[in-house]
C-alpha cells in the first residue's frame, strides 16, 4: 500500500488487490502470513473477514493476522470469523510499553492467537544509547523526525534514567542491554516472535543471543524495580490505530 487514500483500507477489493500485488512482488504463489495492518472502521467487519477467508481458501495465504487492533475489535472479529481464521496479533510491546499484557495477551491466548510484537527495543531506547540530559546521537532513529513515530511515548529524561538503571543489571547477568530487553519479551509464552531491526552485524548477534535465555525471578524483580513507573501498562492506542467497528 501507499500513502494514497485510494490504496488503503480493508475493503474486500483492497484485500484482494494487495495480496495479488504482494505475490507479484515476491514472485511466489502464496505467503505464509497475511496481516491486516491497522483496523478499518469504515468497512463492515463481516466484509473484511469474508475477504480474508477467501484469500485463504484461494491458497494465496496460509494464515491471517492483524496489527494493533483493540480488544473490542479483536473480539468482534473472532465473533464473526470463529476461532480458526486469525492466528497472529502484532502489537507494540517492550519493557517500556507493556499495555498489551492488560487485555490483548489474554484475549488472544484464549483464542489460539499468538503475538508477533514490534518495537521490542522501544525504537532503540532500550539499547541504552540515548542518555538523559544529552543530545540525541547523530544518525540515530530519533535524530530523524520521519522515523520517530512514538518518540513522545518512550523518550523522556525519566524514561532514559530508568533505562540507564537497567545497564548494570544486564551486565551483571552477562548480557548486553538489547539482549536482556529481548529476552524479557520472549519470556512470555504468548509471544511467538519479536520483530527486530539491525544496521550492523553485531546488532544481529545481540538480538539472536536472546533466544532461549531464561530470566530468573530475582532478575525480573530487579528489572521491575529499575523501571519503576516508566512503562506504559494501561491500554493506549498506538500511533495509527483506529477505534470503532462497522457491522452490517
Q: Is residue 76 part of a domain?
A: yes
**pLDDT tens readout for residues 23-69:** 999 999 999 999 998 899 999 999 999 999 999 999 999 999 999 99
Residue with cell 495509527: 240
Of the candidate ranges 87-96, 126-135, 168-177, the one whose mean pLDDT is the lowest: 126-135
Residue 212 belongs to what domain range? 5-227
pTM of the model: 0.88
**Residue 235, in any domain of the structure:** no
Is there a domain that residue 100 lies in? yes
The reply to whether 110 falls in a domain is yes
Count of domains observed in the chain: 1
Q: Dump pLDDT digits (tens) for 173-190.
A: 999 999 999 999 999 999
Q: What CATH number is attached to the domain comprising 204?
A: 3.20.20.100
DSSP-assigned beta bridge partners for residue 89: 66, 115
- Asked if residue 46 belongs to a domain, the reply is yes
C-alpha 34 chain-centroid distance: 15
Residue 75 belongs to a domain:
yes
- Please indicate, yes or no, if residue 236 is contained in any of the structural domains: no
Say if 65 falls within a structural domain: yes
Amino acid at each position: 500500500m501507499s500513502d494514497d487514500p485510494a490504496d488503503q483500507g480493508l475493503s474486500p477489493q483492497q484485500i484482494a488487490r494487495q495480496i495479488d500485488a504482494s505475490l507479484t512482488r515476491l514472485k511466489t504463489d502464496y505467503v505464509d502470513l497475511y496481516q491486516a495492518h491497522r483496523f478499518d472502521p469504515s468497512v463492515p467487519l463481516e466484509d473484511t473477514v469474508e475477504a480474508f477467508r477467501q484469500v485463504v481458501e484461494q491458497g494465496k495465504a496460509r494464515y491471517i493476522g492483524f496489527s494493533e487492533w483493540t480488544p473490542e475489535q479483536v473480539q468482534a472479529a473472532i465473533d464473526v470469523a470463529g476461532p480458526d481464521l486469525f492466528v497472529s496479533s502484532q502489537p507494540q510491546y517492550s519493557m517500556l510499553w507493556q499495555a498489551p499484557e492488560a487485555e490483548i495477551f489474554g484475549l488472544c491466548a484464549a483464542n489460539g492467537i499468538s503475538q508477533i510484537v514490534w518495537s521490542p527495543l522501544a525504537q532503540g531506547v532500550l539499547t541504552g544509547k540515548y542518555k538523559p540530559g544529552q543530545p540525541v546521537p547523530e544518525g540515530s532513529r530519533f535524530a530523524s523526525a520521519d522515523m520517530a513515530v512514538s518518540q513522545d511515548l518512550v523518550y523522556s529524561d525519566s524514561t532514559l534514567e530508568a533505562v540507564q538503571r537497567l545497564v548494570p543489571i544486564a551486565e551483571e547477568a552477562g548480557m548486553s542491554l538489547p539482549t536482556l530487553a529481548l529476552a524479557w519479551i520472549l519470556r512470555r509464552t504468548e509471544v511467538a516472535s519479536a520483530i527486530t531491526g539491525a544496521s550492523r552485524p553485531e546488532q544481529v548477534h545481540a538480538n539472536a543471543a536472546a533466544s532461549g535465555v531464561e530470566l530468573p525471578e530475582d532478575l525480573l524483580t530487579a528489572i521491575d524495580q529499575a523501571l519503576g513507573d516508566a512503562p506504559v501498562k494501561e491500554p493506549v492506542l498506538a500511533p495509527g490505530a483506529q477505534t470503532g467497528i462497522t457491522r452490517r
